[in-house]
Structure 1
Amino acid sequence: MSDQGNLSHIPPRLVLVTGPSGSGRSTALKALEDIGFEAIDNMPSSLVPRLVRARLERPLALGLDTRNRDFSVDALLTLVEALASLPDTSFDLLYLDCSEDALIRRFAETRRRHPLRPDLPPADGVGLETRLLKTVRSRADMLIDTSALSPHDLRAEIVQLFAPQGRVAMGVQVQSFSYKRGIPRGVDMVFDCRFLNNPHWQPELRSFDGRDPAVAAFIMQDARALPFFDKIHALVESLLPEFAEQGKPLIMVALGCTGGQHRSVAMAEKLANALARGPWRVSKRHRELERKAGVEASANG
């Protein structure tokens, strides 16, 4: 690597993230950022040597792929070897692998064009990129196959691999869902909210969801709602330290109701807000509301 300069500020941990388009690079970089990395995506490889010598106080994660304006396999491999030789730096090349079938399906679902072959079917670009990155894949220090992983699964894998032991609080994701579409995969605890009074039968509330204050207030007026919430809150709070002691990076708690719009959403919001007052990294997901928003976006697209 040229521009040797002063190496005193090279980050002690450096991760280069690459892989085919659609394999989850943006998700991986966001996960690394959440656990303390300075994350930069799609940076020209020619500028990386100067960047790693900047005065950085955090570990550094860089995303590079075939979209980079100066991308070439030879240049990327040369950069990898230069970064790997930096003194006093722990360097890893993380390759996000994915089957061609899964990549083609993802491009079809999102209606995106492949950056290498924007005027042709995605399969053409996927095949070309897979062949192009074959040598880079073989050089990877770490490889994650994202073919069957959701973004949430990939985040958990990243945390498991890169979070320093004891440095990052365990993540807790609180989800709402509809029993009509089944219990979410991979959840650790499930609670059923279907016995609570249903705002769906109130015409003035039906079109809103459980995040609306009027909907939440209606649900909490049910004499059973607060005792139910207090019990599940106490149970989850009592179990989280035990999961953390086992080294689990992420615990997922799911609350379900009939349609996944009112009762489960309100209870998930309330539980997530309560848990966020503790030491955990808490996130929320409302599966059916996300699905509804995606359908509406597609209809308007």
Structure 2
Amino acid sequence: MTSRRSDLGEQPPVPPEVSGRTDVVILTGMSGAGRTTAGDVLEDRGWYVVDNLPPAMIVQLMDLTADDPQRQRVAVVVDVRSRDFTSELAGSLEILGERGWRPRVVFVDSSDESLVRRFEAVRRPHPLQGEGLLLDGIRRERRMLGDLRSDADLVLDTSNYNVHELAAKIDALLNVDADVRLRLAVMAFGFKYGIPLDADVVLDLRFLPNPYWIPELRPYTGQDQAVRDFVLGHELARDYIEHAEQLLRTAVQGYLSEGRRYVTVAVGCTGGKHRSVATADELTRRLADLVEQGVQLSTFHRDLGRE
């Protein structure tokens, strides 16, 4: 992003007592992916949420809320399709950072298939569809927002979440804690349901023996001891998990030094029920000592219960 602070004008300095205290989240992303729903979740949890605010007005909003102790967590939902959005947002974020606020950009995304279903369900055209097909508008917007998505602090994939599951994920990833330097999410998933859009690292476990083909294990999940013993007892699994642990430990040091705040490690098997669940839980257990370095660990089983 390129900064264009002249669009914002000269702003008064923020009082020193505000520095580092107010938490600011910018919710942006694909049309139909759930920006407003994510904002509603934050509002239900006590955040002060403003929907559809022009990026150039974010600094002014924070000036208005600076002295209000009831508004120390602010979320702004912004429409990213305006012509000057990128430069205006970059300028606002730069000023906020200089004044001691902690702005975080959350890009809400969803698969093309999910977006098509949602637009068809409400019988509305995509804002960028024009005279073309619904999918044309989605792909046009995805190309337009590619750089913004890459620069976001967090990509939130809503493809396979209902409102309650989305709320749980937001709670885990956006919970304000000054001592947390990095939030590392380990997510089990099934390849047949698609690779998570918010994955930073993908581990493929489909080469391991599948408990699904063992009749007495099929009804159970990777959270059950019998399945865990079957998966983790295999020599290939033990070797793979050991190497994956070392890889992640090395990567975490890089993430910390580079200031990354959110990382999602996606652990996949065919259905997201057996191998991926057991392995995701095991990796989380092995990496538990990272909390001493300011890493918050969380585990998600995205597709558990879908079969």
- So what's the TM-score if we normalise by structure 1? 0.51
- Show the counterpart of 1:283: 298
> Is 1:156 matched up with 2:159?
no
- Inter-partner Cα distance in structure 2 for 1:179 and 1:219: 18
Q: Is the 8 A contact 2:27 2:35 kept in 1?
A: no
- Inter-partner Cα distance in structure 1 for 2:188 and 2:106: 32
- Specify the SS of the correspondent of 2:223: coil
- Amino-acid identity (%): 25
Q: Is the 8 A contact 1:9 1:54 kept in 2?
A: no
- Show the counterpart of 2:93: none
**TM-fit CA distance, 1:225:** 2.9
- Inter-partner Cα distance in structure 2 for 1:9 and 1:272: 39
- Inter-partner Cα distance in structure 1 for 2:102 and 2:255: 30
Q: 1:39 aligns with which of 47, 59, 62?
A: 47
- Inter-partner Cα distance in structure 2 for 1:16 and 1:225: 39
Q: 1:61 aligns with which of 74, 79, 94?
A: 74
- Show the counterpart of 1:130: none
Mark the CA change 1:91 to 1:276 in structure 2 (over 3 Å): closer, same or farther: closer
**TM-fit CA distance, 1:232:** 1.4
**TM-fit CA distance, 1:255:** 2.2
- Inter-partner Cα distance in structure 1 for 2:259 and 2:203: 24
- Inter-partner Cα distance in structure 1 for 2:107 and 2:46: 19
- Show the counterpart of 1:272: 284
**TM-fit CA distance, 1:206:** 0.6
- Inter-partner Cα distance in structure 2 for 1:231 and 1:196: 15
- Inter-partner Cα distance in structure 1 for 2:155 and 2:181: 15
Per-residue deviation, residues 276-299 of structure 1 (Å, max 9, x unmatched): 441322233334337x27xxxxxx
- Aligned letter for 2:237? A
- So what's the TM-score if we normalise by structure 2? 0.50
- Show the counterpart of 2:264: 252
Q: Is the 8 A contact 1:18 1:96 kept in 2?
A: yes
Mark the CA change 1:154 to 1:25 in structure 2 (over 3 Å): closer, same or farther: farther
- Show the counterpart of 1:3: none
- Inter-partner Cα distance in structure 2 for 1:197 and 1:97: 35
**TM-fit CA distance, 1:241:** 0.7
- Show the counterpart of 1:198: 210
Unaligned runs of 5+ in 1: 1-7, 44-49, 66-87, 114-120, 128-144, 294-301
**TM-fit CA distance, 1:267:** 0.2
- Inter-partner Cα distance in structure 1 for 2:183 and 2:25: 24
- Specify the SS of the correspondent of 1:224: helix
- Specify the SS of the correspondent of 1:288: coil
> Is 1:24 matched up with 2:35?
yes
Q: Is the 8 A contact 1:15 1:91 kept in 2?
A: yes
Q: Is the 8 A contact 1:32 1:61 kept in 2?
A: no
Aligned residues between the structures: 222
- Inter-partner Cα distance in structure 2 for 1:256 and 1:225: 13
> Is 1:230 matched up with 2:242?
yes
Unaligned runs of 5+ in 2: 1-14, 52-63, 79-98, 128-142, 157-169
Q: Is the 8 A contact 1:17 1:62 kept in 2?
A: yes
- Inter-partner Cα distance in structure 2 for 1:248 and 1:64: 22
**Greater shift in the superposed pair: 240-249 or 190-199:** 190-199
- Specify the SS of the correspondent of 1:253: strand
**TM-fit CA distance, 1:208:** 2.2
- Inter-partner Cα distance in structure 1 for 2:209 and 2:232: 9
- Specify the SS of the correspondent of 1:289: coil
- What do you get for the CA RMSD once the two structures are aligned? 5.4
- Inter-partner Cα distance in structure 2 for 1:228 and 1:95: 32
Q: Is the 8 A contact 1:29 1:61 kept in 2?
A: no
- Inter-partner Cα distance in structure 2 for 1:284 and 1:249: 16
Rg larger for? 1
Q: Is the 8 A contact 1:14 1:59 kept in 2?
A: yes
